Each structure stands twice: as structure tokens, then as C-alpha cells.
Chains A and B, each alone.
Chain A
Amino acid sequence: MDLAAILGSISIFTAGFCLCVGASAAGLAEGYAVASGLTSLAQQPDEAGSISRTMFISLAIVETSGIYCFVVAMILLFANPFWQYAVSVAAK
């Protein structure tokens, strides 16, 4: 296997693994956040506005780690910074 093949396979595997871990962890965390938000919403329906606003903002903050994983996976797949080097080595 030459360098480009190794780099490509490692990049694809790492992108998939990164998305897998990032999506499942962020999904679990957001599920917990929504569950406790709904519990407090059922207990105090009068505070619906402030509870749901705080819940949405915390959801966005929790989701950030998942989004980071997505961006890193996209960079690995489509804008890999080492790809040019591998191509230049292969061209020699």
C-alpha cells in the first residue's frame, strides 16, 4: 500500500468513528437534557416560557461537541490537509 491509500483509509475510518462517538454522546446528553426539561415542564407548567428557553439554549451548548465532531469528520473527508502531501509523494 502506498501512502495515499493508507492515508485515505485511515481518514475514512477516523471520520466514521469520530461521527459515531460524537453523535451518540451528544444524542445521549441531549436526551437527558430534554427529559429533565420535560419533567420540570410537567411539574411547573406556569414557567413554560423560561424553562423551554433555557432548555433550548442548553441543548445548543450540549450539541456543540457533536457539531465539532461533524466538522472534524468533514475536514478529514473533504479538506484533508495532508492529502496534497500524499499525492505529491505518490507522484514521485
Chain B
Amino acid sequence: MLELYDEQIAFILPYFNFPVNWTIASTWIVMAVLLLVSWLATRHLKTGNKVSHWQTAMEVMVKIIYGQISEMTKGVNTMTYLPFIGTLFLFILTCNLLTIIPTFKTPTASLSTTAALASMVLLGVPFFGIKTAGMKKYLKKYLEPSPAMLPFNILSELTSTGAMAVRLFGNVLSGVIIGSICLMLVPFILPLPMQVLGLFTGMIQAYIFAMLALMYVSSVHGDDDGVPAQDKKPVATDNETL
């Protein structure tokens, strides 16, 4: 009954003779959906009063994500984090919302997908830390409050991102299992509210994953005491253009 999407083969890739399991196949489906929507939305980008509906919807989405990130980072370096955090959010959101389509096997119910997303965050911590705060300040973070805390700081990096992976996986998997148990016991009406609750949980989980990723990624930066003045200037212009 446990849905092990890693072991269910969707199809055999021709020419390579490579068995593609359902996790990879549904990840490709989600990627195709995201690509198609963003291609449709950014086909005829223009400024002015008459813009297409697609462009307006996309602008609203980007604006909301931008606002959330800039509230969290207090307006510093928002455009640096926006592509990474926004992609994580949209990908997990699409995965979780597509669960209501019957027979769609959501990739986030497999530990491989969530572990891959969490390891991206794990790699993002040094990347964005060095990019925004510089190598010296990034390495100094591990020696705070005292050099004796170095192993604990490294351990906390690893465990907090690992917990992110298990949290997303466990939440989505529990929704899937509750749905299938309800289908076995009372297949008529009762699964519906559970599915709706699953949609709500999915949205919250996507939001929480993105926000926690942002917290870890921007943790080096912390307060903006060490930020040079020229780094602060583009923020104001970003706010005006968006």
C-alpha cells in the first residue's frame, strides 16, 4: 500500500534501455507544465498599459514572491535570492497541487526528490553566503559565538536541511496514504475533504520549504551591518521597476 514511486517503472527509455521510474517521469511532467506556462506567459512581453493576461498573472506572482522575500531579508539582496527561492516554491507548489489529478504520482511523495531539493539548499548556503557576504564573513559564521562551536555549527547545517527533506516528504506522503486509506474504507464522499486538506497542506508546505530555504540561505547575511553602500542602492531601483 505504501506508494513507492521509485520502484514503479513508468516506461523504458528507448535507445538507452534505461528504465524510468514514476518519480522521474512525473518530475518531467511538472517541468513540462512549468516550462509551457512560462513560455506562454513570456512570449509577448511588453510595457505600457495594454499587456496580456498571462503577463499580468506572471507579474502578480513574481511581485508576491518578491514581497515575501524582501520582507524576510529586509529589502537587501532580494533579486539575488528571487530566482532560486521562486523556482523552489513554484516547483513544489505545482507538484503538490497536481496531486488532485487522479493517477498523477506526485514526485514530492518520494524521498529522492525532496532530498535533491534539500541538497540544493545545502549547496546554496555557501554559494549565496559567499556571494552576498564574502568568503571571510561566511567562514566566520561557523566560528560564532566561539570556535568551540564549529562542529555543532557544521552539524546544524546538515541536520536542518535534512529535516527539510524529511518534512516535505512526510507531509506529502501522509496526505497520499490518508487518501488511499479513505478510498479503501469509505470511497464515496469522505476522500474529498481529505483531498482538499491535502491541497491546503501542499500550499503551506511549499511556502514553508521556500521560506526555510530563504532563512538558511540568507543566514550568513543576517543583519545588514556589513553590507557596503553600493549593494544597497539597487534595491530601491528594483522596488521601482517591479
- Residue numbers of A with Cβ under 8 A of B are 49-50, 53, 56-57, 60-61, 63-64, 67-68, 70-71, 74, 77-79
Contacts and interface: CB of A to CB of B under 8 A. Distances in A.
A4 B203 CA distance: 41
Interface in B143-163: 163
A79 B173 CA distance: 14
Interface residues of B, number: 21
A67 B208 CA distance: 15
A50 B211 CA distance: 12
Contacts of B177: 74
Contact of B174 (A50, A60, A70, A79): A70
B215 A57 contact: yes
Q: Which of B170, B174, B207 has the most CB of A within 10 A?
A: B170
27 contacts: A49-B71, A53-B72, A56-B204, A56-B207, A56-B208, A56-B211, A57-B208, A57-B211, A60-B167, A60-B205, A60-B212, A61-B163, A63-B171, A64-B163, A64-B166, A64-B167, A67-B167, A67-B170, A67-B171, A70-B170, A71-B166, A71-B170, A71-B173, A74-B173, A74-B177, A77-B2, A79-B2
Contacts of A57: 208, 211-212, 215
Contacts of B138: none
Nearest to B1: A78
B208 A60 contact: yes
Nearest to B3: A78
A77 to B, nearest CB: 8
Smallest CB-CB A-B distances: 7 pairs: A67-B170, A78-B2, A60-B208, A71-B170, A64-B163, A70-B170, A64-B167
A53 B2 contact: no
A53 B166 contact: no
A60 B160 CA distance: 12
Contacts of B212: 57, 60
Contacts of B170: 67-68, 70-71
Interface string B173-199: 110010000000000000000000000
